């Protein structure tokens, strides 16, 4: 059995190594991302599975200089992240760390662009040149940049009309359509019912200029893009924001789903829609942020175990990936300069190595270690009740493997016989360190109870992995 675990670990390492090695084409450009034939997942133009492992570096373009951006991107590359979600225009009056404004007189139809792009020339080197530099550095590291053209509050406050959205959308799409590592995130933390026609206009015009890069909509907390835009021609995949509130805190406004922390429910709803489109949690609770986005230092904060739970719940339910977030990283906080939001305390350099950030790649590695495109969510694997809240067991399977995630180490029972083979090899996979623990070989029939290692407690999370012997 120890030999089996070694083989599994080696197979996982090879799969991960292969994914890294095939990230870039021979010319150094990243392969275009497409939607898989079954409409559920992402795939590269080379036919390789692409598991979205994102980070919310929202204020990267604004708050970091070139050297700092390099350090951040390299850290994320080392940790296995392959997508960075980032705002282009946080506000219409935005200026970067060098003092360069993005727009003339806060008008989105008038980007402030100067001739030349020499970083040594402070006159020539503008906001957009700095943004280009970071995008290009990300490309070299195998990272895609998911760009929010203009953050939702600017549109909601009337700073961007339909006509302005058309002009700006055409300009920005034309500027970045030839970059290999672009993904478009329309919206930006806003309810799609707010300024709907502006978002449709922006989506349509960007897609008309740039038909290559994928696009979705980043919605308000406790909502999904499916609520307004699922059938829009510019929306290639769906995104939801499960948000930062606890079960007890409920929703924060009208029109939000009553799913609380159960982000798997968003996936289940999106998964059931036609036509089939990939979906993922683009903003779950951030590590180290107070529950409910409170601004005090007393309220409990979301921890590594929480971000793991959101990840495995949503992906095993059918998600095409997962976006992690950390309180200080999302605002690229430099405490000595002030401006901390949501009681953030860590400098962004320290926050880069938060516990959860280093554990996210285990989820990606696990998903890529088995045949990818035949994977489906399957709660029928769970014998009896699935459980509620933190007792919830979530299950997924392919043709020759099955996986069940438990957050709190409680025993649970499995309906065997869901994959092909007379016997299956069972092992425990740790979301904390990516290691396997052998269990044994079991007949693939009837109901079998499994008890995870350790004592029952929130955060003692495990994945039961069942593999056919072939």
pLDDT in tens, 342-396: 999 999 999 999 999 999 999 999 999 999 999 999 999 999 989 999 999 999 9
- The phi and psi torsions of 126 (rounded to 5 degrees) equal -110, -175
Per-residue DSSP letter, 101: B
- How far apart (Å, rounded) are the C-alpha atoms in residues 245 and 249? 6
Average pLDDT for 69-92: 98
- For the ranges 119-123, 246-250, 267-271, the lowest mean pLDDT is seen at 119-123
Structure tokens at 7: 């083989």
Confidence bin at 13 (pLDDT 50/70/90)? very low
Confidence bin at 251 (pLDDT 50/70/90)? confident
pLDDT for residue 19: 40
DSSP labels, 390-448: GG-EEEEE-SSEEEEEESS---EEEE--SSSSSEEEEEEE-TTT--EEEEEEEESSSEE
Q: Is the pLDDT at 8 greater than 50, yes or no?
A: no
Secondary structure of the chain: what % helix, strand, coil (to 5)? 30, 25, 45
- How far apart (Å, rounded) are the C-alpha atoms in residues 322 and 192? 21
- pLDDT tens for residues 125-139? 999 999 999 999 999
Confidence bin at 122 (pLDDT 50/70/90)? confident
- pLDDT tens for residues 154-211? 999 999 999 999 999 999 999 999 999 999 999 999 999 999 999 999 999 999 999 9
Percentage above 90 pLDDT, the chain: 90
Domain spans, the chain: 2-368, 378-468
H-helix or E-strand containing 77?
helix 66-78
Per-residue DSSP letter, 184: E
Confidence bin at 244 (pLDDT 50/70/90)? very high
Yes or no: is domain 2-368 CATH 3.20.20.80? yes
pLDDT for residue 470: 66
């Amino acid at each position: 059995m120890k030999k089996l675990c070694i083989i599994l670990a080696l197979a996982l390492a090879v799969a991960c190594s292969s994914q890294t090695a095939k990230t870039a084409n021979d010319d150094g450009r990243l392969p275009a991302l497409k939607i898989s034939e079954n409409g559920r997942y992402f795939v590269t133009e080379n036919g390789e599975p692409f598991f979205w492992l994102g980070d919310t570096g929202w204020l990267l373009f604004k708050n970091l200089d070139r050297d700092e951006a390099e350090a951040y991107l390299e850290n994320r590359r080392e940790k296995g992240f392959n997508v960075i979600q980032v705002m282009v225009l946080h506000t219409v009056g935005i200026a970067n760390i060098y003092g360069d404004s993005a727009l003339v007189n806060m008008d989105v139809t008038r980007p402030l662009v100067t001739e030349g792009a020499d970083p040594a020339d402070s006159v020539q080197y503008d906001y957009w040149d700095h943004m280009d530099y970071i995008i290009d550095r990300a490309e070299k590291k195998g990272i895609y940049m998911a760009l929010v053209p203009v953050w939702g509050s600017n549109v909601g406050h009337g700073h961007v009309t339909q006509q302005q959205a058309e002009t700006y959308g055409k300009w920005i799409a034309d500027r970045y359509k030839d970059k290999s590592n672009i993904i478009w995130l329309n919206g930006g933390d806003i309810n799609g019912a707010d300024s709907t026609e502006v978002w449709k206009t922006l989506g349509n015009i960007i897609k008309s200029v740039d038909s290559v890069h994928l696009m979705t909509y980043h919605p308000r907390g406790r909502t999904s893009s499916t609520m307004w835009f699922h059938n829009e021609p510019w929306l290639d995949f769906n995104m939801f924001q499960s948000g930062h509130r606890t079960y007890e805190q409920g929703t924060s406004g009208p029109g939000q789903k009553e799913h609380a922390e159960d982000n798997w429910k968003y996936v289940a709803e999106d998964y059931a829609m036609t036509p089939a489109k990939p979906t993922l949690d683009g903003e779950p609770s951030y590590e180290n942020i107070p529950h409910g986005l409170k601004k005090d230092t007393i309220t409990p904060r979301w921890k590594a175990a929480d971000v793991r739970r959101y990840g495995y719940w949503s992906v095993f339910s059918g998600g095409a990936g997962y976006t992690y977030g950390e309180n200080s990283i999302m605002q690229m906080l430099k405490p000595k300069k002030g401006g901390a939001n949501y009681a953030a305390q860590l400098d962004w350099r320290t926050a880069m190595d938060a516990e959860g950030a280093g554990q996210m790649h285990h989820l990606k590695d696990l998903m890529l270690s088995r045949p990818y495109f035949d994977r489906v969510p399957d709660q029928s694997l769970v014998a009896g009740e699935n459980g509620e809240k933190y007792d919830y067991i979530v299950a997924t399977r392919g043709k020759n493997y099955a996986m069940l995630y438990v957050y709190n180490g409680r025993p649970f029972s499995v309906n065997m016989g869901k994959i092909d083979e007379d016997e299956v090899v069972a092992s425990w996979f740790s979301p904390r360190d990516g290691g396997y623990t052998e269990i044994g070989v079991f007949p693939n029939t009837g109901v079998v109870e499994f008890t995870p290692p350790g004592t029952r407690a929130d955060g003692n999370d495990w994945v039961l992995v069942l593999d056919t012997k072939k």
